[in-house]
Structure 1
Amino acid sequence: MKLQQLRFFMAVIDNGLNITQAAEALYTSQPGVSKQIRLLESELGMRLFVRQGKRLESLTPAGERVADHAARVLKEVDGIKALSKELRGEDRGTIRLATTHTQARYVLPSVIDRFRRDFPDVDFHLHQGTSEQILRMMDERKVDFALLSGRAREFGSLVSLPVYQWDRTILVPQDHPLAEREAPLDLATLADYPLVTYVYSDQPESSMMSSFSREGLTPRVAFTARDADIIKTYVRLGLGVGVLASMAVEAGTDDDLIALDAAGLFPRLTTWLGFREDLLLTDLHINFIRQLAPHLPERLFTALTREGPDADLDDQLQDIELPLRAGPGRRPELRGC
């Protein structure tokens, strides 16, 4: 039994048992209404109307009882729809987001600040971790959204929206030999020095190590950390050459370091926002995504709201140019450009 059959059944009753008027009210054809009524009677195994030829005379006793139940069912359905609109339209609540330290420290503050100006009653629960930990939090339903970098296929069944792209930067103290280098930096030169970089960037499958491997190089990774600020601390101590996200290098704070252009040395990375297919996207969620990724087209949000995870995202994201994310301010002196 389908809700459509009950709606057609009740529309016929509401229009004085006149199928033509019921079809007009439903914006459909008269044969379509008649067919749905016959299917309903067939499924229930009883006649709902007393007929005189093709004309409906009245409800049968069974039809009267079915009408009572159908009215209650449709009223509950309308109540559920109203509840959905209410939930989507709430202007308060909590957004639970898991991301890496770099995104939490250098990207999200300005986004959340702008969002909170429009929605001051919304609370944020921000969880930090590695990519593996973030995906585990999603699987365990501890968070609503995951913001992390990689390839879309690594997100499994999550709905994934591209947010921005970013490059790595090479960071050294001012007295480091590379600080005076005038020629563009290459991987062979970089491999001569110990590296300080993110946790898991030292794994063979990482995009950084894969770049060295393609050149037949095996660099020494002397120190790894999850926190970009920790990486910069140990670069200052002389443990090695920093390889980190360009957005993590700040004007003023990091002026004692030299940032070397690494464009072209490593693949450009994409940061994605992922969420589960069964997440009810509220107006709050949509507005947060708009703040985080203002380049995404309005048609995408319309599709997500109407169709949910069934929306054809590939079609909606065609011809989208992703912004390139740099640091929050002017970077320290950039050499080797």
Structure 2
Amino acid sequence: MELYISRNGAKISKVKESFRVKSDEQEYILSSEKIKSIILESECSLTSGVIRLAFEKDIPIIITDIYGNIMGQFYKSNGTKNGKLKKEQYKFFSSDNGMEIAKEWVIEKILNQKIHLEKLLKRRKKSTEALSIFNNYFKKIEENKGNTDKNRDMIMGFEGITSRIYFRTISEIMEKKWKFEKREHQNAKEPYNIVLNYMFGILYRKLETLLLQEGFDTTVGILHTEGNNKLPLLYDFIEKYRILALEGVFDLFNSKEIKDSFFEGETSKKLTTEGKYVISSYFNNIFSSGREYRGKKYIIDDIIKFELKKLKNVILEVQI
């Protein structure tokens, strides 16, 4: 579970092998064995004992903004142990082999979007013929060879086109009151985008934590390169798993779990504490649910760890 602090004024201290959380409203103690991460969204205080215990138990302490986006995090450093991985990562990601892996991630994202739309359209007895255009972009990306700026831009352009088709179709399917004009990222005003951005924030911090724990340098990517992007590898790798948030946000709206009371503000809307709780609880349940992987059932957290270990093995085995 995540220890999530969203109210100002909370104080976190260490009690033996547990964390004590105290606020004006309540006080409770949680065993460190049950905590996977500590999320700090609001103004709060914590003791050095909390930080030490978190390091001992490999629990990252993550600071986010009110939208769930990571601003920074503390985690146990394994710099010496992972030095070789980082060295080989830099070489591999700049090679044609690295680009082939990034292409697989993008194709998987597009395929997942197509499958999701097919399922929704068939359920509503609507034609799926227009979705055949996705196949054209699979082929274009597969045919795109070489790790060059030109090819990188082309791949991201194809991905952008399919995403616009996906979101346009989703808006058409949704209940009238929740339809949206376009996909908004920062400063979103429409409920669908606000909820999706918050869910993506949760997904980003989960994946960033796992990438760092495995020893990857998240500042070096393949398709997303260095520059204004802060965490290129995170933006690359998340493509495989965006469908978790895309399906999750649609299901929340479709099952009428999202309420008007989840949003506050006039021109600049944001989620209430109640809304954040419902959304984060739902998404965490998705991560703890079982999915089939290599013929067996695993929770999604474990599947992502398997995939990262596989990527690590590929990088270390391929000599550039």
TM-score (norm. length: structure 1): 0.20
- Which of the two has greater helix per residue? 2
- Which of the two has greater strand per residue? 1
- More RCO (CA 8 Å, sep 6+): 1
